[in-house]
Amino acid sequence: MAEQPYKRPPITEAVIAIGFGAAMEPGDLNRADSSFAKLYPQHQDARNLNLEFIMPDRPNLAPGTKIRHDVPGHRRSSDDQTQIVIVWPTSFVFSQLAPYPGWDDFFGRFVRDWALWKKVVGYRSISRVGVRYINRIDIPITGNLTHYEEFLNIYPRLPEELGSIFAYAIQTQLPFPEIEGRITINSSSIPSPLLEHASFMFDQDLYKENNIPQNDDGLYNLLNQIHVKKNAVFEACITDRARELFNT
C-alpha cells in the first residue's frame, strides 16, 4: 500500500505518547521545554488538574475540595498549531494535527525530537508506548438518513424493529498480540463541523505497557509495527465508499 494512499486522509490528529516510570524534576522538565523552543516557538503552560469533592455527612454542611494532583507541564506548537509537543513530568507527547503529512514525515519529526529530548533529559525508563490516530469521516448528506453502514464496518448492531437512531458511541478493546499490547477503538457519531454532512469519529489507541524496548532502535521498530497494525485496523473498519470520499 502506498505510504499516503489518500488525497485527503480523514486523520484529524496523530499522537505518539511515551510514558516514563518516574517523574522528572521540575528543573529537568523546564530544560526539556526550553530545548524545543526553536522548533516549536508557541508556548503555553499546561496543567493536569484532578479535584476531589468531599461530600459532607450532613446536608446543611458545604462540600469540601481536595486537589488530588496538580501537575504542571509545557505545551509547545508550531506557529500554525499543527505540530505539537507536550512535556509532562511522566510523559512526552508528540502530536500532528491535520493536514497529516504521512507517516514518513511524522515519524521523522518524532525521531528528531526524541533525540533532542534524550540529549537534554538523558535516559529515563520507558513504561508505556502509545500511538493514537483520531479520524473524522465526513459523509455528505443526501437525505434524511445517513447509512453509516455503507462507510464503516464498525458500528452498533441493533434489531431492525428499533429503526433508525439519533446517535451512537462504542468502545472496543482488542488484544494486539504482535507486540503484547492492546488496541482501544472508539467510534461514534459526532456533531459535524461542516454543513450538509454527517460526521463519524474513528479513534484508535494502540499501546504497550510491558517489556518496553529501552533503546532507540527497539523503540523505533515498535512504533513502526504499531503503525502497520494501525493501518490494517483502519482499512478493515472502512468501506470502499469511505475510501472514495478520501480521494475526492
Partner 1 sequence: MTGIIIQSRRSPIALRAGIAPELEPAFSSETKRLASQVDALFRHQRSPTSLEQELLPGKTISERLFDALASAKVLTASVAMHLDRARRDKLFQQLDSLHDLAEWEEGDEPLQQSSFGTFLKAMLTVHPQRQPGLGLSHAGHLIGAWTIDRDHLTIEFLPNDWVRWVLTRYKDNEPRRFAGQTPVSELTEGLAPHRPEHWFSYEGRQRQESPR
Among 18, 77, 121, 176, the residue binding partner 1 under the rule CB under 8 A is 77
Considering only residues 4 through 23, tell me which ones interact with partner 1, judged by CB under 8 A. Answer: 8-13, 15, 17
Q: How far is the CB of 236 from partner 1 (least distance, A)?
A: 20
Considering only residues 110 through 169, tell me which ones interact with partner 1, judged by CB under 8 A. Answer: 132, 134, 136, 138, 141, 144-149, 155, 158, 160, 162-169
Grid cell of 122 as nine digits? 538523558
Looking at the Cβ atoms of 144 and 211, the one nearer to partner 1 is 144
Site string for partner 1, 186-225 (x = CB under 8 A): x-xxxx-xxxx-x--x-x----------------------
Provide the residue count of the chain: 248
If binding is defined by CB under 8 A, does position 86 make contact with partner 1? yes
Identify the H or E element spanning 104. Answer: helix 103-121
Number of residues that bind partner 1 (CB under 8 A): 61
Contact 116, 32 (CB under 8 A): no
Looking at the Cβ atoms of 29 and 84, the one nearer to partner 1 is 84
Grid cell of 186 as nine digits? 472508539
Q: Sort 239 into a burial class: Cβ within 10 Å, 0-12 / 13-18 / 19+.
A: middle
Distances from the Cα of 223 to the Cαs of 63, 103, 104, 169, 181, in angstroms?
Answer: 46, 11, 12, 28, 12
